[in-house]
């Protein structure tokens, strides 16, 4: 049991309203442990979000279908060390049965189980959505368009809410990287028929907190349970981050040894 006080559903509703999220389409990046004790647990938390937000989305990323690149397909500047073998069982990808990576937390696994929830068909950057526009957001999700669901949210006045997590978890910033001219990385996955195919994926986000000082004015900040939340409209956040990354392409390099940061900051893969 946590030592944090119990947050009632009524208090969660008040906090959500104070953040400006009531009536919004919102992608939630949630570390539920940071939210603390909530009336009704994760189900209570989810009931508030789905009652007050017409569309609720979350990353449902999975990597179980990823396979080592074929010997005859090694793009340059791809954030990948081809000398290291990627040993993977490579389960054929099916969005109806693919697991959600544990690093995504419990929230997307609960969200995808709701009646009417949709999951997109990308074998790496898969997204889960419930509510108005859930099908339009997630279907289709071509393997060479990793950020299509985020683009849909941006075009439909969506917001992002970082609940107990930092900017390193903000997937919208990967779309900003693309707008700044960085090409998505290329990986390989096994499709439902057992065929190995290319898939375009996001890069490293560990350096995104370096954007915080310049972007913080765009965020509404406040509590949700015991967690601190940063929430922002995607139509403002993504263009602002793209401009910043265009001006300072090496700002988000997380370390000198990160291949993804090194190659991404110089434009991404070349065939």
pLDDT digits (tens, 9 = 90+) for 204-225: 999 999 999 999 999 999 999 9
Structural domain of 56? 9-265
Cα angle 72-77-83, degrees, rounded to a multiple of 5: 55
Contacts of 257 (CB under 8 A, 6+ apart): none
Cβ(66)–Cβ(86) below 8 Å: yes
- Model confidence at 16: pLDDT above 80: yes
| Chain centre distance of CA 255 | 21
Whether 87 maps to a domain, the answer reads: yes
Whether 223 maps to a domain, the answer reads: yes
Provide the greatest CA pair distance for the chain: 58
Whether 118 maps to a domain, the answer reads: yes
- Model confidence at 266: pLDDT above 50: yes
CA–CA distances in Å: residue 9 to residues 20, 45, 130, 197, 223: 17, 7, 20, 45, 13
pTM summary value: 0.95
Residues 41-64 have a mean pLDDT of 97
Whether 270 maps to a domain, the answer reads: no
Percentage of residues in the chain having pLDDT higher than 70:
98
Whether 4 maps to a domain, the answer reads: no
| Chain centre distance of CA 209 | 15
Whether 3 maps to a domain, the answer reads: no
Instruction: Catalogue the long-range contacts made by 242-245 (C-beta closer than 8 Å, 24 or more residues apart).
Output: 242/176, 242/177, 242/179, 242/180, 243/180, 244/211, 244/214, 244/215, 245/176, 245/177, 245/180, 245/182, 245/211
Whether 1 maps to a domain, the answer reads: no
Whether 2 maps to a domain, the answer reads: no
Q: Cα–Cα distance between 31 and 218 in angstroms, integer?
A: 21
pLDDT tens-digit series, residues 173-185 = 999 999 999 999 9
State the total domains in the chain: 1
Model confidence at 76, pLDDT cuts 50, 70, 90, reads very high
- Model confidence at 42: pLDDT above 50: yes
């Amino acid at each position: 049991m946590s030592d944090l006080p119990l947050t009632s559903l009524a208090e969660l509703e008040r906090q959500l309203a104070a953040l400006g999220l009531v009536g919004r389409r919102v992608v939630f990046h949630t570390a539920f442990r940071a939210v603390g004790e909530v009336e009704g647990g994760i189900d209570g938390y989810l009931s508030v979000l789905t009652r007050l937000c017409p569309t609720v989305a979350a990353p449902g990323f999975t990597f179980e279908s990823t396979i080592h690149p074929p010997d005859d397909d090694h793009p340059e500047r791809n954030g990948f060390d081809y000398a290291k073998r990627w040993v993977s069982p490579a389960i054929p990808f099916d969005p109806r049965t693919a697991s959600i990576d544990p690093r995504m937390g419990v929230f997307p696994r609960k969200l995808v189980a709701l009646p009417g929830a949709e999951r997109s068909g990308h074998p790496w950057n898969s997204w889960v959505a419930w509510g108005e526009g859930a099908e339009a957001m997630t279907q289709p999700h071509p393997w060479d368009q990793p950020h299509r669901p985020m683009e849909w949210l941006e075009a439909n006045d969506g917001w992002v809410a970082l609940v107990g997590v930092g900017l390193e978890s903000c997937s919208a910033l990967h779309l900003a990287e693309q707008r700044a001219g960085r090409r998505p990385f290329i990986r390989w996955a096994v499709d439902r028929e057992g065929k190995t195919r290319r898939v375009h994926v996001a890069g490293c986000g560990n350096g995104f907190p370096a954007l915080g000082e310049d972007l913080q004015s765009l965020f509404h900040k406040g509590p949700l349970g015991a967690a601190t939340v940063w929430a922002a409209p995607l139509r403002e956040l993504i263009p602002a981050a793209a401009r910043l990354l265009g001006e300072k392409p090496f700002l988000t390099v997380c370390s000198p040894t990160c291949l993804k940061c090194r190659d991404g900051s110089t434009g991404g893969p070349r065939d």
